[in-house]
Amino acid sequence: MIKIAITGPESTGKSTLAAQLGQHYGAPWVPEYARTYLDELGRPYEAPDLEAIAKGQLKLWQAEAEKNPELLFLDTELLVLKIWSEHAYGICSSFILENLRQQNCDLYLLLNVDLPWQPDPQREHPHLRQFFYDWYKRELEQMGVPFAEISGSADLRLQKAIEAIEKIRHS
């Protein structure tokens, strides 16, 4: 199984691209668990909620991975939670950090901030998009994982993502 993680700052089209890639390849994509969790929370989130979100996300991934698909697309991943936690609280739980190290994705698609901001009650930082993009890129470089930067219109993003995935599939 080839796992493709779609990552990056808020409002960069991660969910849209995950769904498009899933449809293109006829492969499953795991949605972002945080959205459901926060919708049902009924209060402002706190630091421990991020670990609960990580656990829920991992449970969703495991359920899809057990079906042993050829490709599996992850709409966001634990790097998102690490950066979210460190920015919001200055710390990150050891659970998130340990599971991030064990994530073992074959390719990360880092989505650029060149799409217009889409307001959403769960989004918090329209003014910090480039700051976060740069942070994601540094983290991916430090992790030493393969990643491709994806930018442009929705159609161009899909095309660039497919090209990056095909390189991994045929390497």
First-to-final CA distance of the chain: 14
Give CA–CA dist 122/9, Å, rounded.
Answer: 13
**Angle ∠(134,60,145) on CA atoms, nearest 5:** 35
Residue 21's Cβ-side half-sphere holds a number of Cα atoms within 13 Å equal to: 31
Give CA–CA dist 5/46, Å, rounded.
Answer: 25
Task: Summarize pLDDT for 149-158 with one digit per residue, the tens.
Answer: 999 998 999 9
Could you tell me which residue, 22 or 119, shows the higher pLDDT? 22
Report the pLDDT value the prediction gives residue 123, as an integer from 0 to 100: 63
In this structure, CATH architecture of domain 2-169: 3-Layer(aba) Sandwich (3.40)
How many angstroms separate the Cα of 113 from the Cα of each of 18, 40, 41, 134? 16, 28, 28, 10
Query: Whole-structure pTM over 0.85, yes or no?
Result: yes
Give CA–CA dist 90/83, Å, rounded.
Answer: 9
Q: Where are the domains of the chain?
A: 2-169
Task: Summarize pLDDT for 112-167 with one digit per residue, the tens.
Answer: 999 887 767 666 777 789 999 999 999 999 999 999 999 999 899 999 999 999 99
Beta bridge pairs of residue 2:
71
In DSSP notation, the chain reads: -EEEEEE-STTSSHHHHHHHHHHHHT--EE--HHHHHHHHH-S---HHHHHHHHHHHHHHHHHHHTT--SEEEEES-HHHHHHHHHHHHS---HHHHHHHHT---SEEEEE-S-SPP---TT---GGGHHHHHHHHHHHHHHHT--EEEE-SSHHHHHHHHHHHHHHHHT-
